[in-house]
Structure 1
Amino acid sequence: MTHHAPLPGTGRKLTLVVLALAALIAAMLCAFALPSLHSGPHHVPIGVTGPGQAAEALRDNLDGPQWEVHVYETSGAVESAVRGGDIAGGLAITAQGVDVYTATAGGPSATSAVTALGDGVAAQHTTRAAVHDLVPFTDADPRGAGLTAALMPMIFGGIFPTLILGNVFPGHRRLRVRLAGALTFSAVAGTAIAAVLQFGTDSIDGEFGLTAFGVVLGMAAQSTTLLGLQARFGMAGFAVGGALMMLLGNPLSGLATGPHWLPSSWATVGQLLPPGASGSLLRANAFFGGAGGGLPALVLTVWVVIGVGLILLADRRGRRATGSRSKVVTASATVDASQAELATS
């Protein structure tokens, strides 16, 4: 019976792989569990207005880790700020009671918290609160299920093309073909997702062209980044990028609740990753006419630039390596030909 000795370094490689996988699982648990355990209102921007010193007194009582309070001159100014996405909601103290302004499409959890806050303020003034949802979800999808469900297709829309195009068009010579394929897929699939959400399920509203462009940009940011990591660092780069998008980007996106429902540090990280920026841009374009979409669009553009930069760098190095090998082969062929001529002479 023949016994094969393990290859040198196998034990160390196996140990590194096991430790890396264990760290990945631990990171996944932290990414999904910790934000949920510490979820709640974190510096949610709200507006208040009222007669005399009522608004200032309310601001002094509410300002803290949960609320970021802004005082407005009139209830109309509060409404405009809510509709423009500048604040998550607002309270207006009037002679008739307390008017509560919300934007459910901007974040259902924040809307519930602002509504409860309005009820509490009304109780203090021995009156009632009237809730006005200024930016609701559509009548066909009042809970925003379609908006929340769009995140996973957008994430997988960056992962699948990288894997498939890499298998169909392997090698650095076809790297630019893979880049063109990824961008084309992002344009087609992103437009299709926006069309399904707006015309198929009636989950979103707004200008279709603007919404579709945002989805396309989000998918392009993810696909080019993963393609660039794969081209530059191989499957290890792709694995790290995929884990970043799926295990951190997904739970920290805040698409279901709104980013203000996550702890501030987690929310900041989530909004700097493509899934979180894609979700915020989709929300801004679909319900707020693009208001508040500038920063997420900039974040996604930066990721596209990074991805394309990695691809071009890998392509340049690949061409240099190919050129060097070609020179070696040419030199060897020249030497062989010279030796053959000497042998025959």
Structure 2
Amino acid sequence: MSESLSTPHPRTRWRFAVAFGVIGSLLVAVLITAFIWPAATSSPKNLPIGISGPADRVAALTDVLAQQDPSPMSLVEVSSRQDAIDQIESREIYGAILLDEPEVLVATAASPVAAQAPRGVATQLQSQIDATVQAALVAQLAAIGEALAAGQPPALPPADAPGTQTPKVTVTDVVPLADSDPTGAGIAAATFPLVLGGMLGGILLSLLVAGAVRRLVALAVFGIAAGALSALILQTWFGLLQRDWLLNAAALGLGMTATAAFIIGMNAVFGRPGLGIAAVITVLFANPLAAAAVPVQFLPEPWGQIGQYFVPGAASNLLRSLSYFPDAATGMQWMILLCWTALGVLLALVGHYRDKPDMQVPEEQLEPETQLEAV
């Protein structure tokens, strides 16, 4: 009987087996918490909404919102309807309440969830208007009845008097979602394959490509090709992205390049543990805080704002602006993605030159005195 068959395999000790089971369950709990916590704790609050109209009506609405903790909306004064539209299209506000017309402006492309708050205000305004008109109508009927009882001809109200016409609150979607993505789920879900694509590229290049320069060249090729292919799938095929195809491809490619570069750099500096650290930062921390499906204001403070300085948050915000809000400022998102890419490249070079052995100079190139010292 061979030695391999006769020698029993060593068995894991009981306490280690139990410990590994507990550690695995804790990792699952952390994973679930990381993904569920932002969604479970998000709530409508402090949403920037424009407001215009008579001062007394604005003050009344402001007082009502101030009584709620937290307030679902943060009112921003706008000078006119066009001013409100301009601020919505530049992503400074999520909607507007115009009390003169009356009209409520929303932008479902910014966030279908955020559009629900001003729509709710429109419903409440319509209820108040209907109640006011009904009260005025009852008062007019009572006056007519009193006049008839006194034997006097009733005074008919003018055609434009309150109670003769019921104003309707108009809801206008200034920036609607595309017909190919009517619920907005597609552009929100595009963030996750973007993160996974960057992680996959970074891990493969770290494990399969040797040499710092070769690895960085492969990273550049990966970013360009992955961005182009992703844009073909998300925009040309499924129609989830809109407007300039080249800009969308550049944003997708840079987002995946930034994630891949960070993973490569962490691996170069910390070795295999660096891959795990980079994955934890990207998947368990940055991705849940990206606010891809809800406004940043809905996440617990200050985590929503912090999440925008990581690759998933910046990339998802950038893609939404490029597709639906061409007037929005996107310089910050481009800069964040470039900074993460530069950080990854820097870490990769630091790890390469740190581990590089000192250059050996041939003895024949040394000075005579140096040769004697070497001997």
TM-score (norm 2): 0.76
Q: Structure 1's 186 and 17: CA in aligned 2 closer, same or farther, altered over 3 A?
A: farther
Structure 1 runs (4+) greater than 6 angstroms displaced: 1-7, 10-20
Equivalent in 41, 58, 71 of residue 55 of structure 1: 58
Change (3 A) 1:279 1:310: same
- Select which of 270, 291, 300 maps to 1:254: 291
CA apart distance, 1:131: 1.3
Q: 1:190 aligns with which of 227, 230, 237?
A: 227
Larger radius of gyration: 2
Aligned to 2:175: 135
> Which residue is equivalent to 2:240?
203
Q: Note closer, same or farther for the CA distance 1:198–1:290 as it changes in structure 2 (3 Å cut).
A: farther
- Check the 8 A contact 1:220/1:304 in 2, yes or no: yes
Q: Conserved in 1, the CA contact under 8 Å of 2:311 and 2:337?
A: yes
The amino acid of 1:152's aligned partner reads: F
Give the whole-Å Cα distance in 2 for the aligned partners of 1:3 and 1:177: 45
- The 3-state SS of whatever aligns with 2:255 is helix
In the TM superposition, what whole-angstrom CA distance separates every residue of 1:246-272 from its partner, at most 9, and x where no partner exists? 222332222123333322323123212
Asked whether the equivalents of residues 203 and 260 of structure 2 are also in contact (C-alpha less than 8 Å), the reply is no
**C-alpha separation between the residues in 1 aligned to 2:32 and 2:122?**
35
Choose the corresponding residue for 2:127, options 109, 123, 127.
Answer: 123
Q: Which residue of 2 aligns with 1:323?
A: 358
Relative to the length of structure 1, the TM-score reads 0.82
Alignment partner, residue 80 of structure 1: 86
Deviations 1:75-122 (A, max 9, x none): 221111111111011111124xx3111111111100122211222233
1:28 equivalenced with 2:48 (yes/no): no
- The CA RMSD over aligned residues, in Å, is 2.9
One-letter amino acid of the structure 1 residue matched with residue 355 of structure 2: G
Residues 45 and 20 from structure 1, CA distance in 2 versus in 1: closer, same or farther, beyond 3 angstroms?
Answer: farther
Q: Is the 8 A contact 1:50 1:93 kept in 2?
A: yes
Q: Name the aligned partner's letter for residue 328 of structure 2.
A: A
Task: Determine which structure has the larger helix proportion and give its number.
Answer: 1
Determine if the alignment matches structure 1 residue 314 to structure 2 residue 351: yes
SS in 2 for 1:85: coil
Deviations 1:19-39 (A, max 9, x none): 765554333222222222222
- Cα–Cα, structure 1 residues 239 and 12, in superposed 2: closer, same or farther, change >3 Å? farther
Instruction: Tell me which residue corresponds to 2:142.
Output: none
Q: Which runs of 5+ in 2 are unaligned?
A: 1-5, 131-166, 364-375
SS of the aligned residue for 1:251 comes to coil
Instruction: State how far apart, in whole Å, the 2-side matches of 1:227 and 1:44 are.
Output: 38
**Alignment partner of 2:109: what SS?**
helix
The answer (yes or no) to whether the contact 1:109–1:261 under 8 Å persists in 2 is no
**1:213 aligned residue:** 250
Task: Give the corresponding residue for 1:160.
Answer: 200
Distance 1:165 1:14 in 2: 34
* Alpha-carbon distance change, 176 to 22 in structure 1, aligned in 2, over 3 angstroms: farther
The residue type paired with residue 48 of structure 1 is I
Q: Which string of whole-angstrom CA distances, capped at 9 and with x for unpartnered residues, describes residues 98-149 of structure 1?
A: 3111111111100122211222233233354321111111112211233123
Amino acid at match of 1:73: S
- 8 Å CA contact 1:228–1:307 kept in 2: the answer is yes
Matched, 1:298 2:335: yes
Overall identity of the aligned pairs, in %: 28
Q: Secondary structure at the match of 1:264?
A: coil
Structure-2 residue corresponding to 1:150 = 190
Number of aligned positions between the proteins: 319
CA distance in 1, matches of 2:85, 2:64: 22
Aligned to 1:266: 303
